[in-house]
């Protein structure tokens, strides 16, 4: 059977007046910017030319108090623990803040909890350990905002707790010495969507500013803001933070650093992946580097990723980069196996459900989020996938734009041990005896929230173009929109009624489709690749509509343009 087609949401044509306002910019780029809400000429030029600015970190609530306490710790030689998370955002944030604090002369040590043994976020046993080891200050990165009890426990141990986090705010703020999260009520910081590593960078930035104004030591600090931006770019893109506003500026500058890598761990990871410096973009982070960093925390320990990013030399980094690559291959294999296992449960449940909660003792904590994401993509329904242990079940949830999964879990908080996340993704822990009630309540919430909605996956189309309009010059213009990612997606173009001359299945299990299509006006042929759409084979008519991104394909040293197909439909559909 061919894949379920998407609903194409084709952007309205550009108003002539808007085109005239930006007459110095290619018309296709003006249309795409208009689709992104960028219409002012000055704003458009800034967007395309990479001149975004950083906001003053001291505008963020909690930063000044945190800086004062940290500088007291630096003066007094107190041990500071940076308590992170096991995903790419948390690991890069931990490495960044430890590097900054160490450069400022501090005794800073990392603590990254083990995904299986400890789970996400602060835990009291860990705080016991760091207190016993002599820590006086604990700074959380990418976690802590929904851990008021654990923060209170740390305070009782005599720890000064500083929480930095970007996740959604819970019913109460943790009783920390300082809470740094621009989403908290009343925070005047202008950009609310920094990743965890972005907020860690803002704290480091504030510390460097304070040191410049009033040095603590006689010698200059051997660290500049730009030395940290490679980590900011890695964590921000890998965590799917929106690439707009300050995130865009951070990632743009971070990509500059990644493409002239000085960090041995980055050098080793690029070499192992076969990526030449100068070729790193947001896509490379999202599909090559980020998954490797995440794989360690998913299948083993995130300490491997931390050690790679902080490796002192290339010799130490090389073996760690190879280990992460091996873990990533294992992650891919296990994901495919567990997705198939989850599909068996879904088939048994039957069609027509608004939400799926899939539980299995054989599911792996490090993989459940990937499985949930794949199911949500396939079914276009919220999916929660969890590993059932002896007493408790740990899981991850992924959702669709029509359903805020964290808000739904908030309604079920009385049944949960802990939970937290974003509108589209969350983690949760539930005692096994509460599973039936949780399933029933989530299904009822989904039925209420999704009633009457047309739950068909949609695909935003930026512009309808002729294939003959595309060339290397257009590709260079499109590249000005980089870095692309969440909230600034790669532009999706559509060409209607193109001729199909060649189709063949490729890849593992013949899951992908390789096509040759031709422009109906000129006969110009284009190569196209449709990932995970191999089931279209044998079901396509001679003329089709294509939705795609234009990309550069590099093979054996040669570069060519190709279409990365996002959806296919018979040409007749667009004519009806």
280-320 pLDDT tens trace: 999 999 999 999 999 999 899 999 999 999 999 999 999 99
Mean pLDDT of 246-258: 96
pLDDT at 576: 39
Q: Print burial letters for 431-441: b (CB count within 10 Å at least 16), e (below 16).
A: eeebbeebbeb
Domains and CATH numbers, the chain: 7-12+458-575 (2.40.50.460), 57-226 (3.90.1640.30), 351-450 (3.10.310.30)
pLDDT digits (tens, 9 = 90+) for 423-478: 889 999 999 999 999 999 999 999 999 998 988 888 999 999 999 999 999 999 99
CA distance 144 to 136: 17
Q: pLDDT band for 558, please (50, 70, 90 cuts).
A: confident
- What would the two tokens of residue 174 be? 């943790």
CA distance 228 to 221: 14
Q: pLDDT band for 84, please (50, 70, 90 cuts).
A: very high
Mean pLDDT of the chain: 93
Mean pLDDT of 225-248: 96
Alpha helix stretches (DSSP H) within 77-147: 88-103, 124-132
Task: Return the bridge partners of 568, or none.
Answer: 546
Helices 196-213 and 229-238: angle between axes, nearest 10 degrees: 160
Whole-model pTM?
Answer: 0.87
Q: pLDDT band for 114, please (50, 70, 90 cuts).
A: confident
Phi and psi at 498, nearest 5°, equal -80, 155
Highest mean pLDDT among 341-345, 348-352, 552-556: 341-345
pLDDT digits (tens, 9 = 90+) for 468-507: 999 999 999 999 999 999 889 999 999 999 999 999 999 8
Helices 124-132 and 148-156: angle between axes, nearest 10 degrees: 30
Q: Under DSSP, is residue 171 helix (H, G, I), strand (E, B) or coil?
A: coil
pLDDT digits (tens, 9 = 90+) for 197-208: 999 999 999 999
Strand ranges in 165-253 using DSSP code E only, listed in sequence order? 178-180
Running DSSP on this structure, what letter comes out for residue 492?
P
CA distance 165 to 199: 7
pLDDT at 1: 61
Look at the alpha carbons of 258, 264, 265, 270 in this order and tell me if their dihedral is positive or negative. Answer: positive
- The residue with greater pLDDT, 352 or 450, is 450
Query: CA 372, 195, 175 angle in degrees (round to 5)?
Result: 100
**Does residue 5 carry a pLDDT above 80?**
no
pLDDT at 564: 97
> Is 309 within 8 Å of 348 (Cβ atoms)?
no
- What would the two tokens of residue 159 be? 């720890």
- Enumerate residues 6+ apart whose C-beta is below 8 A from 357: 384, 386, 438, 439, 442, 443
């Amino acid at each position: 059977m061919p894949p379920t087609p998407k609903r194409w949401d084709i952007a309205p044509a550009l108003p002539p007046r808007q085109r005239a306002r930006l007459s110095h910019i290619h018309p296709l780029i003006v249309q795409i910017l208009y689709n992104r809400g960028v219409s002012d000429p000055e704003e458009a030029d800034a967007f395309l030319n990479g001149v975004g600015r950083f906001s003053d970190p001291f505008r963020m609530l909690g930063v000044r108090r945190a800086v004062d306490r940290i500088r007291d710790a630096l003066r007094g030689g107190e041990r500071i623990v940076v308590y992170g998370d096991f995903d790419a955002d948390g690991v890069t944030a931990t490495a960044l803040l430890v590097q900054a604090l160490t450069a400022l002369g501090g005794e800073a040590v990392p603590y990254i909890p083990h995904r299986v043994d400890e789970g996400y976020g602060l835990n009291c046993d860990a705080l016991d350990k760091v207190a016993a080891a002599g820590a006086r200050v604990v700074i959380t990165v990418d976690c802590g905002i929904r851990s008021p009890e654990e923060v209170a426990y740390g305070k009782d141990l005599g720890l000064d707790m500083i929480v930095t986090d970007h996740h959604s705010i819970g019913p109460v703020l943790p009783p920390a010495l300082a809470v740094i999260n621009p989403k908290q009520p009343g925070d005047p910081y202008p950009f609310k969507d920094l990743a965890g590593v972005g907020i860690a960078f803002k704290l480091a930035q504030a510390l460097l500013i304070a040191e410049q104004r009033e040095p603590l030591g006689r010698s200059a600090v051997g660290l500049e803001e730009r030395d940290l931006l490679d980590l900011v770019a890695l964590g921000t893109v890998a965590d799917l933070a929106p690439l707009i506003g300050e995130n865009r500026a951070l990632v743009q500058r971070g990509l500059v650093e990644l493409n002239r890598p000085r960090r041995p761990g980055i050098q080793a990871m690029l070499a192992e992946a076969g990526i030449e410096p100068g070729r790193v973009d947001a896509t490379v982070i999202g599909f090559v580097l980020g998954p490797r960093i995440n794989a360690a925390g998913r299948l083993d320990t995130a300490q491997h990723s931390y050690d790679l990013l902080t490796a002192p030399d290339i010799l130490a980094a090389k073996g760690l980069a190879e280990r992460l690559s091996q873990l990533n291959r294992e992650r891919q294999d296990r994901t495919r196996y567990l997705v198939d296992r989850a599909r068996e449960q879904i088939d048994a449940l039957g069609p027509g459900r608004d939400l799926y909660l899939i539980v299995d003792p054989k599911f792996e904590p490090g993989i459940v989020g990937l499985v949930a994401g794949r199911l949500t993509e396939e079914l276009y329904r919220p999916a929660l996938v969890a590993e059932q242990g002896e007493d408790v079940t740990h899981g991850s949830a992924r959702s669709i734009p029509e359903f805020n999964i964290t808000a739904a879990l908030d309604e079920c908080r009385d049944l949960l041990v802990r939970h937290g996340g974003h509108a589209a993704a969350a983690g949760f822990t539930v005692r096994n005896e509460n599973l039936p009630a949780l399933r029933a309540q989530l299904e009822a919430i989904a039925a209420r929230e999704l009633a009457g909605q047309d739950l068909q996956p949609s695909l935003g189309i930026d512009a309808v173009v002729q294939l003959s309009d595309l060339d290397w010059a257009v590709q260079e213009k499109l590249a000005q929109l980089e870095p692309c990612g969440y909230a600034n997606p790669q532009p999706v173009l559509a060409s209607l009624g193109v001729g199909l001359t060649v189709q063949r299945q490729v890849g593992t299990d013949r899951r992908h489709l390789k096509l040759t299509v031709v422009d109906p006006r000129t006969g110009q042929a284009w190569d196209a690749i449709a990932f995970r759409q191999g089931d279209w084979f044998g079901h396509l008519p001679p003329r089709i509509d294509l939705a795609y991104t234009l990309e550069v394909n590099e093979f054996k040293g040669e570069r060519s343009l190709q279409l990365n197909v996002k959806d296919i439909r018979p040409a007749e559909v667009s004519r009806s």
